[in-house]
Amino acid sequence: MSTGHFYLLTGWHPICPNWSGIAFCVTRVGFIQDTKTDKSCTRTLTVPKHMKSPIQIYYQIGDFYQNHRRYVKSRSDKQLWYKDAAHLTKDCEPEVYGADGAPIVPCGLVAWSLFNDTYTISVNKKAIEVNKKDIAWQSDKNKKFGSDVYPRNFQNGNLIGGAKLNESIPLSEQEDLIVWMRTAALSTFRKLYGRIETDIMENDQLTVVIQNNYNTYSFGGSKALVLSTTSWIGGKNNFIGVAYLTVGGFCLFLALLFVVLYMIKPRTLGDPSFLSWNRCTLDYPN
């Protein structure tokens, strides 16, 4: 099997799953924002087919509009790259300054909303390591995030948006942040979380312990965990196949339509004797 994938839905709530309406929404938001509540949940499934390493681990978020104009603009690329550019926060509203009045590094809504769910994976009750190295684009690491720029005042306000950053590690090595900062074009998107470097065999019992920290409840979003294998042509992508078939089918339809129109009402060909090189005139002598 060259390419395969399956989903583990993580939109989970252990307290009152049968509630509905506004009360349920308020309870879920309160649950996710309560720092004292255990938010772990466990999902177990039987792997349907052999998955050859490396196995890509993605988190998928639905109804999250990273392509919104105000959200996309709420960042400072110069601050991410230059050590002495911490004060360049003009475009970062509303996440500009920390509780002490100093600039936030990295500033802006994009960094502030950094995804913070975590996954612990085991196969047949044996823990397996998730490799989180080299999950970001090398061009982003080398040309957009400075190796001498360190987080400051990040997530120290009254409202925490997502994950916190280690202030002793430069931004160029904070790969979860780099992956997140490459904003998605659509409202439902996947981002690479890590890789499993060992094969998972058919009928293995895969168990995932999910720390359900990221707040999608407040905006009615969804979360899923996706495991996918890749081949030499990349991972599975249904959208590209559907798009190619749709465009090809439309072109075929137009071709058949023109053939039918020509059969019903063919176009009359012009008389070639009226062409300039076939006419005997002063301008065009024989």
Residue 248 CB-density burial (10 A; 0-12 exposed, 13-18 middle, 19+ buried):
exposed
126-135 pLDDT, tens digit per residue, is 999 999 999 9
CA distance 154 to 135: 22
DSSP 201-231: -TT-EEEEEEE--S--GGGT-EEEEEEEEEE
Determine how β-strand 222-231 pairs with β-strand 5-9: antiparallel
Q: Is 105 exposed, middle or buried (0-12, 13-18, 19+ CB in 10 A)?
A: buried
72 pLDDT tier (thresholds 50, 70, 90): very high
Helix (H) or strand (E) holding 20: none
Q: Which position has the higher pLDDT, 23 or 4?
A: 4
CB atoms within 10 A of CB 222: 15
Q: pLDDT-based confidence at 277, cuts 50/70/90?
A: confident
Q: Specify the amino acid at residue 6.
A: F
**Amino acid letter at 155?**
Q
* Most distant pair of Cα atoms in the chain: their distance: 99
- Residue 100 pLDDT class (50, 70, 90 cuts): confident
Model pLDDT for residues 33-45, shown as the tens digit of each residue: 677 788 888 989 8
**CA 219 to chain CA mean position, Å:** 17
- SS3 call for 71: helix
List strand residue ranges (DSSP E) for 126-169, in order. 126-127, 130-131
CA distance 236 to 234: 7
Domain ranges of the chain: 5-11+38-230, 241-278
> Is pTM beyond 0.85 here?
no
